[in-house]
Amino acid sequence: MATTVLLAAPRGYCAGVERAVDAVERAIAKHGAPVYVRKQIVHNLHVVRDLESKGAVFVEQESEVPAGAVVVLSAHGVAPEVYANSAARDLTVIDATCPLVTKVHLEARRFADDDRTIVLIGHAGHEEVVGTTGQAPERTVLVQTPAEARVVELDHPDRVSYLTQTTLSVDETNEIIDILRERFPSIEGPPRDDICYATQNRQDAVKELARRADVVLVIGSDNSSNSKRLAEVSRDLGTPAYLVDDETEVDPAWLAGAEVVGVTSGASAPEWLVDRMLSWLASQGATTVEEIRLAEESMRFSLPPGVRSIPLSPN
């Protein structure tokens, strides 16, 4: 078993996740339980269970929320029809959509208003992609891979724009964009990259881990896009990586023969899961923890309207 643990930084909660989880807790403090949450507020099993224990009720659709109740919309964003359906049911809506996702939604509407076809780079079925597509469904074409980018056919190739899901692999996304630029020379992108700062920073940090560690453990849930990308980035560099919800899912055989273990966590994983992982690794013989910090993060987002002035009750 390894004696050294390399701990990535930045890791864990991004500003959008912190804001979304905070919004649910403050909504419960203001309105009392139950407070309904459409979809998982963020893609992490432990976060969902913790909020359930405090009075959150997670539902798949706003139609499942009792008329007149409080509903929090997840950080991943929604299509416009969700707001309309919520208004029709007289729901009190607290919108926890990450502001960086909202930025993509605004870009989609702007491109659509300009009579452009939108190539959306992302993963089919992911809640963020569903919400972004819903801004202009008749004008949006989904591309998931470089192979798809090479063959996608568009009706008006001279009026094309692209947008991306915020939690993608930076390297693969750049490859797709390069292919699209080659095929559609007049393609227009957003003023700034859509992939969020936290996704970029965590992928940069895991690259450094992969270069120095024998194996990498990524703390995050299987439905977390950004967490899955971290494991993929490490594997692409030739270092085995495993995505786990917590330390109980680690197979000690993964660590056999490893001298250095890298540890990181996805943007929806709370820091206390990292602490648990480090304690478990110490119990397995790790004696040294070295933090590898590649960037400082100071981004903070204001809370959604409706909960900004609500203090949290002590746990």
Tell me the catalytic residues. Answer: 128
Name the burial class of residue 117, with classes exposed (0-12), middle (13-18) and buried (19+) by CB atoms within 10 angstroms of its CB.
buried
Query: Nearest CA to 267 among 210, 207, 196?
Result: 196
Interstrand relation of 117-121 and 70-73 (parallel, antiparallel or unpaired): unpaired
Name the region of 15 (left: φ>0; alpha: ψ -120 to 50; beta: rest): alpha
Could you give the C-alpha distances from 195 to 86, 267, 288, in angstroms and in order? 29, 13, 33
For the residues of 225-242, what is the DSSP string, one character each?
A: HHHHHHHHHHHHTT--EE
For the record, the structure tokens of 200 come out as: 């970029």
